[in-house]
Structure formats: C-alpha cells, structure tokens
Amino acid sequence: MKKVETDLPSTKRLNRIETDPQIATIPAMKPFLMGDPEAVEILRKRILTTERFQPHLRQNEPDWTSELAKLRLPKKAQEQLVTELKLLWILPFADVPAVRELLLFKYTELPKVEKKVKDQKKEKDLRLCALFRLLTRMALQGSSLFPQNPAYLAKRVQFVLSSAPDEAAQLEPLLDLLISESAKSDTGLNFETAADLGRVIESEHQRREGVAEQGWKAHDKFDLHRQEVVESPRFKQDWDSIKRHFEIQKFRDSRGIIRRSPIPERNWQRPTQPAMDVTRDRFQVAFDFFCWKWFLYGMRGDDPLVEKLTYTLTPYGTQIFIPGFWSLDYVRDINWGEVLKLHRARGIPKQGKKAALNAREREEQMKKLAKANEEAKRMGLNGAARYTFLKQAAALAPETDDSQIRRMLRA
C-alpha cells in the first residue's frame, strides 16, 4: 500500500521538537501563579521557541518597561504590571489591547477608587473593586477555565466604577455570586487561579495549532484511517460533489480551512427546521454530513482533516474526545500522564475520606486563625506576642513558622 504523507508530524518529528536544543536549555516548566516573574519568563521561552506555535505567535512585542516609564508607578507595582503584560502577550486567544487597558486601570486608577470608597465606607463599591480584580486575574489565565469572557465583564465593572454608578445594579447578580460581604472572592468549590497556569496556556497553544499527539501513545490508528480516506475514490467523488454545488472559497477561514459545525457538550442539539433557503446553511448541512461520512473535522484545501483523539480543558471539567473510527484501547492508546497533568492543572486537591477529613480540619483551623487575628488587632498585639497568641488560639504547634501563619492569613 502506498504511503501517504499526513498533515501531522511523526513520532520522531514530535520528539525532535520536544528535544530541540533551544527547548533543552530552558528549565522544566513548573506549576506557577501568574505573579511569578521567573516562571512567566520560563513559560515565555517555551512558547516562543516551540516551532509548532510559530504561525500564530504575536510579533513586535513592545518594550513594556520603557512604555510604562511615563506612568511613574512605584517600582514594585511597575514590575508586577510588566510581568502581567508579558504573560498577556503569549495568551493565544486574548484580546491584548482590551486586557492591556484593564491592567493599566488596575495599577493607575483602581487604587485611587479603592481609597475613596474605603474613606466613604461604600461597601458595595469596595466589593465592585474586588470583582474587577478577580475578573482581571481570570482574564490573564487564558480562555479554558472560566465560563464567560472575564475581560468583557471587567470592562463593564470599570465603566461602573469610573463613570456610571447607576449601572451597578446590573452587576449585582455577579457580585453576589463571586464576592463576599467582606469583599473577598468567593468561587465556591472551583478555583479562581490555576495551580499550574503554564500547562493551561501551553495546552491552548496546542489546541490552536491542532496538536493533540502528546496525548497519544501511538499514531497507527490515526495514520491508517487518514490513509484510507485519502486513497478512497468515493471520498474524492463526495468532495468533488461539494465543490460542484457550492462556491467553497466563501466558507474558508484565514488559514484556508472549512470546519464542520461544533458539537456542544453532551450532544448536538440539531435545528428542527434548517433554513435550507440560505446558502450558508445549505452548505453547512451538506458539509456536516460529508464530515460525518468520513470522520473529519474539516478540509484544508483538498486535504481531509481527520478527527483526532483529543483532551480539552473546559470551565467545568476535562473533555476527552474519541473519534468514531478509533477502536480504543485505553491502556495502549492514551498517554494518561499528559491528560491527568492538564486535568489537575486547575488545582484539584487530593480526594477521599482522609483527605476530606483533613480539609475540614484545615478549614476549621483557618476560621479559628482568622477570628484570632481580628482579636489580636483589637488587643493591639504585635510582633512575637501576636504570633504566640495566634498559635495558641488556632491550636497550632508552638514551633510553627511565623511566615506560614502569614501565608495562611493571606489565603
């Protein structure tokens, strides 16, 4: 049988990319939060030197430090802003100009607004400020983790804080859901910041370029199916029929790709009466059946884009898509290590009876510590006396490091 060239790299090719000399000199990516400058730089080097990501990487990045010099921010604030802008630049689906403006507002105007509302004791406005901060943190974490567009929502909060206080009522449902009465973020059992943000962002670049092979242990099933499609005279006849009935150039995207209709979670809710008199709808109906017939997600030129075994992070969980032609062997086919690393990236804790008991005990301890901290403030305790009081009140061991208590109070 004639060997057919595929549109994806071979295993050898993938390994070459992973061991590229440029990548090999970069430290291994570790879990990080977006405020860690060193981790952001490591992630940037990995993204910017990965060959498969090159087609969509942004060019001509500004010199952020020089650009921000005119703002005359405090040194620490400027460093934090530069780090966040550098992270924003490598988010594959971000609206960079819009989020950039949100970040500038966060570091220049928001502190003034917060001081004013604190002085005036406007608790709802203080909660709105907290909502803005939460949404901008979300906007810097890609598009996979949250169910709506955080940047758009943050812009609405900014508008209310800046010039339209009468519009605040429209944000109350979101405010009640996500911000507590004490102006703290409240995301329930979900996570406001990913535990391994680098992996989330790298997975979005892979998704953008159609790269799924890192989750496979072997390529044979995909390669054989693609070869069968390409060599089939019936496939060629069907594609010629589509081209004869429609001006397919109208339906290509900027990369020359035509895609089937997306499938919502769980199942495809089909329209009861397709608008067959509309050209685009008529084309999409025919093209979707064409893709269904040959297990494709689209066409690039005359090249079939065969469905791939994929795993995708979503706001509610991790989806694994197994193509209909793929006779799955869950042991031999899926690289579960890669799948689980991405699934756990949002911050899933250990689970089970013992873990649940430990979590409840920690929650009770945190409540005691917070209550003791308020009492220590009321009593005017400082320094060693304060930490001794906190340890005793929260039933912490006397040898507990003071820095650990500070981290617990910030949590």
Position 397 scores a pLDDT of: 84
Q: Which residue, 323, 314, 321, 310, is CA-closest to 343? A: 314
Residue 195 CA to residue 45 CA, distance in Å, equals 20
Sign of the alpha-carbon dihedral angle for 193, 198, 199, 203? positive
Alpha carbon distances (Å) from 278 to 66, 258, 275, 285, 299: 52, 18, 6, 11, 22
pTM (predicted TM-score): 0.78
Quick one: tokens of 202?
A: 């790298």
Q: How many Cα neighbours within 13 Å face the side chain of 389?
A: 17
Residue with tokens 């105007």: 109
Residues of the chain with pLDDT under 50: 1-28
Q: Is 260 left (phi over 0), alpha (psi -120 to 50) or beta?
A: beta
Position 363 scores a pLDDT of: 76
Position 311 scores a pLDDT of: 94
Residue 214 CA to residue 337 CA, distance in Å, equals 10
Quote the DSSP letter at residue 54.
G
Residue 400 CA to residue 249 CA, distance in Å, equals 68
303-306 vs 310-314, strand pairing mode: unpaired
Position 355 scores a pLDDT of: 56
Residue 15 CA to residue 372 CA, distance in Å, equals 54
Q: Are 359 and 349 in contact (CB under 8 A)?
A: yes
The enclosing H or E element of 23 equals: helix 21-24
Quick one: tokens of 217?
A: 């242990």
Residue 345 CA to residue 189 CA, distance in Å, equals 15
Q: Which residue, 107, 174, 173, is CA-closest to 135? A: 174
Residue with tokens 């803005």: 132
Q: Cite the DSSP H helix spans in 248-393.
A: 279-294, 336-343, 353-379, 383-393
Q: Is 186 left (phi over 0), alpha (psi -120 to 50) or beta?
A: beta
